Amino acid sequence: MDSVLAFVIGVLIVVVGLALSIGLHEIGHLVPAKLFNVKVVQYMIGFGPTVWSRKKGETEYGIKAIPLGGYISMIGMFPPGKDGETKAASTGFFRGLVQDARDSSTDSITPGDEDRAFYKLAVWKRIIVMLGGPFMNLVLGVLLFGVLVTGFGIPRDNFVGSVSECALPASSARDTCEPGDPQAPGSLAGLKPGDRILSIDGTPITSWNDSTQIIRDHPGDPLAFVVERDGTSVDLTVTPMLSERPALDENGRVVTDASGKELTVEAGFVGIGPAAVRVQGPITEVLPTVGQQIQGVAGVILNLPQRMIDTANAAFGPGERDPNGPMSVVGVGRVAGEVAAAEQLEFVDRAAGIVGILASLNIALFVFNLIPLLPLDGGHIAGALWEGIRRGWAKLFKRPDPGPVDLAKLMPLTLGVAILLGAMSALLIYADIVKPVALF
């Protein structure tokens, strides 16, 4: 029962955290819009039927039934058609979409508020309004990663967890030492559990894979180890011995044959095992950590078609999900619940895991919303930038002002993007139900 309760608490924390992140994202749009005197008629968290709302001044604030996003409604999002015509007859489905967008935008402008339309803002002001939401998620992500890095600490696996007394080949059926077994090089050199490996032969060590690769590649070569022991730097000389070891791939995973049997190779061996220890980092480490997260999310987005194919193959086939691949809010909630209920983890590790999920979510919202496609914020920003370039070019060459960019013409593309996002969300939700990402 305790694990079930912990699972539910983990899910609820992430759900509330996501709702707050969405709400603050929309506040990032709302505040500059009001500062620039744009009329905002709605501030909503969620989509679908309204569950609760209250009007304050000219803005209705509310919560809707489907908590998968949010929005603010500003008047005059799109300029009217040429020569101010908005009701011109149009034929065809896509032309109708464009005209409906223009008509809706024009109808939202009440008499006396013509100068408060969004499209009439200066380009730089429109960029600030649309960038305010993603920027708010970036700020939240930095703050949460700050708590994670400087408060909880980041797990580092360049610590020695165990030191073998003897050297046994990988194919040995024994796991204990007997008289006559050769002493392991790590024990012989004086390595101890708790040592943090800082460098090997001048190469900085930040992960266990770093040290493993150097050791395996240098059997018989004396290596200069620098370790941190009880806060003091200690220099050691360790000479790896040639031994039968499991074959590893580029990610440090054991390689097996078609039958599942582990393959072995002759490689350097020291006889030490890793330990993950949380290390509190300085505040200067926060922004590089955020940068790495942004780079990771951008990589997922750039490879999204292949990632979605892999997800579909896993959902409808025997394959396993990639733990670093995309997932829906259902999957994120499930992962949060599993982390909270993981009895094999210490409480601090579970709490740090939840904070890390919320931090990563905000960075993902920041990057995703900057994709230069409508209806995302990045699409509006791209439109404003293009308008600024056009007007600047016309001014430079003393040509007539081309006027505002008519983003309403992109409504067919916007519809296509919305359908694609909906299909992707449906696939990810299905995959997260039938083939969830396995953490433990």
Instruction: Identify residue 96 by its one-letter amino acid code.
Output: G
Whose tokens are 């220890």? That residue is 277
Q: Which residues contact 197 (CB under 8 A, 6 or more apart)?
A: 158, 159, 160, 205, 211, 225, 226, 227
CA–CA dist 21, 133 (Å, integer): 10
Closest alpha carbon to 67 in 82, 48, 89: 48
Residue 26 falls in the annotated catalytic set:
yes
> Which residue has tokens 């500003």?
74
Question: Catalytic residue among 26, 58, 285, 387, which?
Answer: 26
CB atoms within 10 A of CB 42: 17
User: What is the separation of C-alpha 283 from the centre of its chain, rounded to a whole number of angstroms?
Assistant: 20
Specify whether the backbone of 165 is left (phi greater than 0), alpha (psi in -120 to 50) or beta. alpha
Q: Tell me how far apart the alpha carbons of residues 254 and 258 are, in angstroms, rounded to a whole number.
A: 13
Rounded CA separation 407/68 (Å): 25
Rg from Cα positions in the chain: 29
Cα dist. 255→218, 245, 320 in Å?
A: 20, 11, 17
∠ CA 102-104-106 to the nearest 5 degrees?
A: 70
Show Cβ contacts of residue 135 under 8 Å, excluding neighbours closer than 6 positions. 28, 366
3-state helix, strand, coil in the chain (%, to 5): 50, 20, 30
The helix (H) or strand (E) run that includes residue 152 is none
Q: Give the angle subtended at the CA of 214 by the CAs of 210 and 218, to the nearest 5°.
A: 170
| Residues sharing a CB contact under 8 Å with residue 359, sequence separation 6 or more, in sequence order | 140, 141, 144, 145, 147, 148, 293
| Residue positions annotated with a catalytic role | 26
